[in-house]
Amino acid sequence: MFHLSPLTRAVSAACVLMAANPALAQQHTPAPGEPLQLDRVTVTADALDRDDSRQSTVSTATKTNIDPRDVPQTVNTLEMSKSKVYGLNDLSVLLDGIPGVDTAYDTRGDGITLRGFSADSNDIYRDGIRNAGQFRRSTANVERIEILKGPASVLYGRGLGGGMVNLISKEASFDAFSSVSLRAGSWGNHGLTVDVNEILSDKLVVRLTADYEAAESFRRGIENRNRMISPSLRFDSGNGFSWLGQLTWDKIYRRPDRAPAFDALPAGVSARTAYAHPDDFIEDEMQAFRSVASYRFNPDWQLKWTAGWNRSSQNFDHLYAGSYCQPDGRLLSNNRACNTPGLMTFARAWQETSNQTHSHTLDLTGHFATGAIKHDLLLGLEWSDERRNPDLATSAANSDPALRYPHGIDPYNPIWIYPKSATGEAKTSNRHRAQSQALYLQDLISLGEAWKVLAGLRFDRFEFSSHNRINDKQRSYSGSTVSPRLGVVWQPSLSQSLYAAYSKNFAPYGGRGLMSVAVDESAVFDEEPQFSRQYEVGVKSDWMENRFSTQFSLYQLSLYNIRYRPDPENEPFVWAVRGSERSRGAEFSIAGKLVDGVYLRGGIGLLNAQIAEDVTQPEKEGNYKPGIARKTGNLFLRYAPPGPWYGEIGVTYRGPIWNNDLNTSQRPGYTRWDASMGWRFLPWTVTVAVTNLTNTDYWRSSSMPGAPRSLLLSMNYVF
């Protein structure tokens, strides 16, 4: 059964905007010295909802706009318009089903894993600028998402090796459309997006994107409200100089869903039952500014300076880790005393934290030839300063009775009677900082018509420091490393591109996941980073006169130099290699037009992520890493014949997952069907989308069930 909310008062505001005269869609960026021609063009039927989801260029893999066929590494691109019709804004849900990508519900973060290795804290970027930290990222102003698979240190510095996710924002453009979008659907979901792109002159264009969304949940008592505004301005002098400035503000308020694990609840509890206290909350806020100034000396050489600043904060106060005390006095999860038979008791946590990044990148790009050999060169300098400032109190860490909710509630009918008690002062208050400087060089070398070589090298200097404000102790760690990359591309025809590549990644102490350095006097740390190396071969193909494209790759990715102290009491400063973790897999993706009116997009990934060696616990060797599915994939078939009507149906699959590294507990996989149908008679587009069409019961993670069948109605107006 569908639950549709009424359209909000935002409808009236949208109608005013919809009454405006359709504007001109602008195109063609002038060459240096060429005046900009503002020609009237026809708004095509896919202005907001492109049927063919392929991108002609990608930028994340090389920091330059390049044909995907020239990149000797797997890159997946997610166009947001396809997912927005289903009401998907959560980053982890958006990436669900992409080959080699695992997503899991995490109240505090995005829960993303690439090729078997976490990307949640270090390896998510916004417009090429690191967006580190533990918080939930909004996608309200994201135009597309590029996922680079495997090590990316040669261009971006430290990382955990599985790859990187780059959120690419909507920005002022001389060829962008304006639009208004209104949506409403199940569980009280309603929202409005206004996106106005206005050309002020042949040199200046501005854009303002704003979004509001609110929704309840199929889980009782859970809700969220998202607000975003992003103004941007682009100036093009016409004689080589251009500048883009953009400010983005996002704020997400939510009542968190910190449910117990699916195997820690008493029998018969509905998956729609949640246990959030009425006073629980989490607020994620992001403020980001970027400035991109470039000067083109001539058609071949350009200098670009990118300055970025972002501050992402997360404040929360919630109960968590419910423990059920059975009527006979036995505890289902043994982390607290069983003193309330038949009821559930909870711990409490609150935190105020901020993550701030300030960076500058100077890139020189150029094209030149040495005889018959052509070069596309990138030379870059980078400086960054990152800070993480958490203040935290939690009953799990300090057993403070004031932080608990000891009264207990009935798990079958959770009714909260007592308020949460006062929390007092923070028990943890740290100030973490990371600074780095880097020099990198990349060259795409064309050896005739068929052969290309992509070679890159980066040198990093880094320093991490932490200050515990409670005991006033502080320590730091510094070092340097070199990251290489080498790929060979063979293109025997214009439609086929075969490649083999090697790349290496580094994760220094203090920069593995959430950056921090142990400050206790007895604490020591290994002086070498952990490293990842990847070997990958693949083929990228265009078929039937470029009607559709495929991408296939085989890879082996290893994390090594994982270290430990064999005898910490007698020899605390002696380190040895504990072992390594390894993932091997195959990925295939397809996108484009099969026949007239029929479009396809999707892919499948096969992955074995295993503990290759562990001298401390040999019994784990050969086991699969927890939380990683061996099979992931999705496939969407879209039918868009001539005329106003179109529709699509798609399936998302995720295989079974081990819950622990001893491989003794496994969570089943799931298959979810989604479908949509639309009518477009420009400037109007109306779409009805159904998620989980068959109303399948499944679990996104060990503590979060998947949403049941839900519906979203969206209306777009292009002008």
DSSP state for residue 628 in the 8-state scheme = -
Question: What pLDDT is attached to residue 407?
Answer: 66
Model confidence over 547-574: pLDDT tens digits?
999 999 999 999 999 988 888 878 878 8
Tell me which of 37 and 666 has the higher pLDDT: 666
Question: What pLDDT is attached to residue 92?
Answer: 87
Cα separation, 89 vs 79, whole angstroms? 12
Tell me which of 4 and 301 has the higher pLDDT: 301
304: amino acid identity, one letter:
K
Confidence of residue 76 (pLDDT cuts 50, 70, 90): very high
* Lowest-pLDDT range of 6-20, 193-207, 264-278: 6-20
* Lowest-pLDDT range of 60-74, 249-263, 430-444, 685-699: 249-263
Q: Are 348 and 395 in contact (CB under 8 A)?
A: yes
For residue 647, give the nearest of 663, 655, 636 by alpha carbon: 636
Model confidence over 146-184: pLDDT tens digits?
999 999 999 999 999 999 999 999 999 999 999 999 999
Can you give the three-state secondary structure of 286-301, one letter per residue?
EEEEEEEEEEEEECCE
449: which residues sit within 8 A by CB, 6+ positions away?
A: 491
Confidence of residue 411 (pLDDT cuts 50, 70, 90): confident
97-106, 320-329, 390-399, 564-573: range with highest mean pLDDT? 97-106
Mean of all residue pLDDT scores within the chain: 88
At 230, list the tokens: 């992003």
Task: Using the predicted structure, report yes or no on whether residue 28 has a pLDDT greater than 50.
Answer: no
Q: Are 81 and 48 in contact (CB under 8 A)?
A: yes
Q: Give me the DSSP letters along 119-153.
A: -SSSSEEETTEE--SSSPPP-TTEEEEEEEES--H
Question: What pLDDT is attached to residue 398?
Answer: 45
Question: What pLDDT is attached to residue 330?
Answer: 64
Beta bridge partners of 124: 165
516: which residues sit within 8 A by CB, 6+ positions away?
A: 388, 430, 432, 464, 466, 510
Percent of the chain with pLDDT over 90: 68
Tell me which of 47 and 711 has the higher pLDDT: 711
Model confidence over 660-698: pLDDT tens digits?
999 998 999 999 999 999 999 989 999 999 999 999 999
Q: Give me the DSSP letters along 153-208.
A: HHHH----SSEEEEEEEP---TT---EEEEEEEGGGEEEEEEEEEEE-SSSEEEEE
At 701, list the tokens: 């993670």
Question: What pLDDT is attached to residue 46?
Answer: 43
Q: How far is CA 74 from CA 62, 499, 586, in A?
A: 12, 10, 11
Cα separation, 25 vs 199, whole angstroms? 10
Cα separation, 322 vs 266, whole angstroms? 11
Question: What pLDDT is attached to residue 419?
Answer: 78
Average pLDDT over every residue of 228-248: 97
Question: What pLDDT is attached to residue 437?
Answer: 98
Task: Using the predicted structure, report yes or no on whether residue 89 has a pLDDT greater than 50.
Answer: yes
Cα separation, 387 vs 356, whole angstroms? 5
Question: What pLDDT is attached to residue 113?
Answer: 95
Cα separation, 116 vs 472, whole angstroms? 38
Task: Using the predicted structure, report yes or no on whether residue 47 has a pLDDT greater than 70.
Answer: no
* Cis? peptide before 414, omega within 30° of 0: no
Task: Using the predicted structure, report yes or no on whether residue 10 has a pLDDT greater than 80.
Answer: no
Task: Using the predicted structure, report yes or no on whether residue 439 has a pLDDT greater than 80.
Answer: yes
Question: What pLDDT is attached to residue 270?
Answer: 84
How many CA atoms does the CB half-sphere of 52 hold within 13 Å?
A: 14
Cα separation, 364 vs 377, whole angstroms? 8
Please give the helix or strand (H or E) that residue 16 lies within, else none.
Answer: helix 10-18
Question: What pLDDT is attached to residue 406?
Answer: 60
For residue 719, give the nearest of 158, 4, 178 by alpha carbon: 178
Question: What pLDDT is attached to residue 510?
Answer: 93
Q: Are 206 and 221 in contact (CB under 8 A)?
A: no
Please give the helix or strand (H or E) that residue 81 lies within, else none.
Answer: helix 80-84
Model confidence over 617-667: pLDDT tens digits?
999 999 999 999 999 999 999 999 999 999 999 999 999 999 899 999 899
* Lowest-pLDDT range of 13-27, 134-148, 166-180, 471-485: 13-27
Task: Using the predicted structure, report yes or no on whether residue 1 has a pLDDT greater than 70.
Answer: no
Question: What pLDDT is attached to residue 396?
Answer: 54
Task: Using the predicted structure, report yes or no on whether residue 16 has a pLDDT greater than 60.
Answer: no
Question: What pLDDT is attached to residue 390?
Answer: 94
Residue matched to tokens 């340097």: 480
Q: Are 107 and 258 in contact (CB under 8 A)?
A: yes
Model confidence over 181-190: pLDDT tens digits?
999 999 999 9
Beta bridge partners of 443: 377, 455
Cα separation, 108 vs 120, whole angstroms? 10
Model confidence over 513-524: pLDDT tens digits?
899 999 987 788
Task: Using the predicted structure, report yes or no on whether residue 299 has a pLDDT greater than 90.
Answer: yes
Residue matched to tokens 């090429």: 128
Task: Using the predicted structure, report yes or no on whether residue 424 has a pLDDT greater than 90.
Answer: no
DSSP state for residue 9 in the 8-state scheme = T
Cα separation, 569 vs 587, whole angstroms? 46
Q: Are 625 and 661 in contact (CB under 8 A)?
A: yes
Cα separation, 709 vs 707, whole angstroms? 7
* Lowest-pLDDT range of 132-136, 279-283, 370-374, 392-396: 392-396
Q: From start to end of 325-450, where are the E strands?
A: 344-370, 373-394, 405-409, 428-447
Question: What pLDDT is attached to residue 332?
Answer: 61
Question: What pLDDT is attached to residue 422?
Answer: 64
Average pLDDT over every residue of 212-224: 92
